[in-house]
Chains A and B, each alone.
Chain A
Amino acid sequence: MINKIVQSVAAALAGVKDGSTVLIGGFGSVGQPDVLIEGLIEQGAGNLTAVLNNAGVGRVGVARLMELGRVRKIICSFPRSSDPVVFETLYREGRIELEIVPQGTLAERIRAAGAGVPAFYTATAAGTPLERGKETRDFDGKRYVMERALKGDVALIEAWEADRWGNLVYRGSGGNFNPVMAMGAELTIAQVQHVRELGALHPHMIGTPGVYVNRVVQVDRGGDWLRPELS
């Protein structure tokens, strides 16, 4: 019997190694694997490369992980946030490395890793400072930049519902980076609000097939959320 449901956050994060590249889903406050990030803080892995859209807010979650000195490098599109205090301090002191990637290129580099494509060309960033150090090439008279696939050792993602096969259903704008990160890592760990019986999730509603998911842990986000209006 296939059963990817694990019984604790600690079990979900078991075996994450020092030096891992960790893809972290979410956009703004929506779709963030906040409980898994807290779990990673507890778990202890360090020297991490964190891949996510923002560089952390306030002193919680990813910002806390950075403040504890566990993140060597951050790869993101938007290092500014409403309160990027931890990142900015570490960055100014030269204690964290930063790679800025345009948001769509970030998603596509991860998708490429998940789809077995080592590199691709995009017009995004052509002629800008972000093409520096990258191969460029003209196709049909237009300039493109070669971008390399970005693979995670681990992906931490969040979804609304799951079944024991690891099939995931997202809610609202909570998909965002989660489905692409699910396919772009060796070990994909999902936190979900609800676990349903196998067969209860409508096949058309499944945003990430369980093939991409290794472990699922149910967490109580504390909110009394309604069922998504479209399911």
Chain B
Amino acid sequence: MPFNRDQMARRLADDVPEGWCVNLGIGIPTMVANHVPAEREVIFQSENGVIGMGPAPSKENEDPWLINAGKQLITLAKGASFVGHADSFAMIRGGHIDLCVLGAFEVAENGDLANWATSENDTAPAVGGAMDLAAGAKQVWVLMEHTTKDGRPKLVERCGYPLTGLACVRRIYTNLGVIDVLPEKGFVVRDLAPGVTLDELRAKSGATLHTN
């Protein structure tokens, strides 16, 4: 059985070490925070200037002045701090974020990432902070479905969609498995979802998958 979205987020969360400062993108990546065990201290940064996000608030603890990059209400963890946008992105651009987890349209075997526009002719694409994070985080992991809704592979030899960043993706977590992206080598399978075979993974990928 392939992973569902919750299980994908949990599988990624399993690999986040204690002490890392982590930025989670909008969508499935946001769910990663729910799966890091409370006893493992991980600092979640939101690009609107919150360092140290806690879990979503209960109804009575909602504070309309506390939101994350996805505009959802949040709480603060003990030890949290605030900065403005310039300092928040200095933190990102300056390499102080250990890990950024992003969604993607495509990832190429050289680590190129496409996740902001689906066509060169998309006249008003929304980039947000994706390019800053792709260029600045120490590591970028992608969390996404292995294929598009109509079954086309999202792991490809070269991205067809406009790029977000060059050679920036280090690892990919999908509903089918975990794939490293290694310089000089390309995609290397690290783990398979329960019941998924290597042949199935290869059939649903648009580039060579190595096994070591």
Q: What is the CB-to-nearest-CB distance from B39 to chain A, in angstroms, rounded to a whole number? A: 25
The distance in angstroms between the C-alpha atoms of A27 and B134, with both chains bound, is 21
Partner of A104, one of B64, B117, B126, B129: B129
The distance in angstroms between the C-alpha atoms of A77 and B65, with both chains bound, is 21
Q: What is the CB-to-nearest-CB distance from A212 to chain B, in angstroms, rounded to a whole number? A: 12
Within 8 A of A (CB), among B166-186: 166
Cβ–Cβ < 8 Å partners of A82 in chain B: 71
Closest Cβ neighbor of A110 among chain B residues: B86
The distance in angstroms between the C-alpha atoms of A102 and B93, with both chains bound, is 12
Partner of B89, one of A107, A128, A171: A107
The distance in angstroms between the C-alpha atoms of A125 and B92, with both chains bound, is 14
The proximity string for B residues 9-53 relative to A, scoring 1 for CB distances below 8 Å and 0 otherwise, is: 000000000000000000000000000000000000011111000
| A123-B85 in contact given A29-B64, A103-B128, A104-B93 (Cβ < 8 Å) | no
The distance in angstroms between the C-alpha atoms of A180 and B89, with both chains bound, is 12
Closest Cβ neighbor of B91 among chain A residues: A104
Check A107–B163 contact: CB distance below 8 A.
no
Within 8 A of A (CB), among B147-204: 162-166
The distance in angstroms between the C-alpha atoms of A228 and B82, with both chains bound, is 12
Check B120–A104 contact: CB distance below 8 A.
no
The proximity string for A residues 121-161 relative to B, scoring 1 for CB distances below 8 Å and 0 otherwise, is: 01111111110000000000001000000000000000000
Q: What is the CB-to-nearest-CB distance from A182 to chain B, in angstroms, rounded to a whole number? A: 9
The distance in angstroms between the C-alpha atoms of A180 and B83, with both chains bound, is 10
| B123 proximal to A (CB < 8 A) | yes
Cβ–Cβ < 8 Å partners of A124 in chain B: 93, 131-132, 134-136
Cβ–Cβ < 8 Å partners of A180 in chain B: 84-86
Check B132–A105 contact: CB distance below 8 A.
yes
Partner of B84, one of A98, A122, A123, A177: A177
Partner of B127, one of A30, A102, A111, A171: A102
| A175 proximal to B (CB < 8 A) | yes
Question: Interface residues, chain B, CB within 8 Å of chain A?
Answer: 46-50, 63-68, 71, 82-86, 88-90, 92-93, 117, 120, 123-132, 134-136, 162-166
Q: What are 14 A-B interface contacts by the 8 Å CB criterion? A: A27-B67, A29-B67, A30-B65, A79-B125, A82-B71, A104-B88, A108-B86, A124-B132, A124-B135, A170-B82, A173-B65, A173-B68, A173-B82, A175-B83
With A173-B82, A223-B64 known, 18 other A-B pairs at CB within 8 A are A30-B67, A77-B129, A78-B126, A98-B124, A102-B131, A103-B85, A107-B84, A110-B86, A111-B86, A123-B136, A124-B131, A125-B135, A126-B166, A129-B120, A173-B65, A175-B84, A180-B85, A228-B65
The 5 closest A-B pairs by CB, nearest first: A104-B89, A172-B65, A104-B132, A28-B71, A179-B84
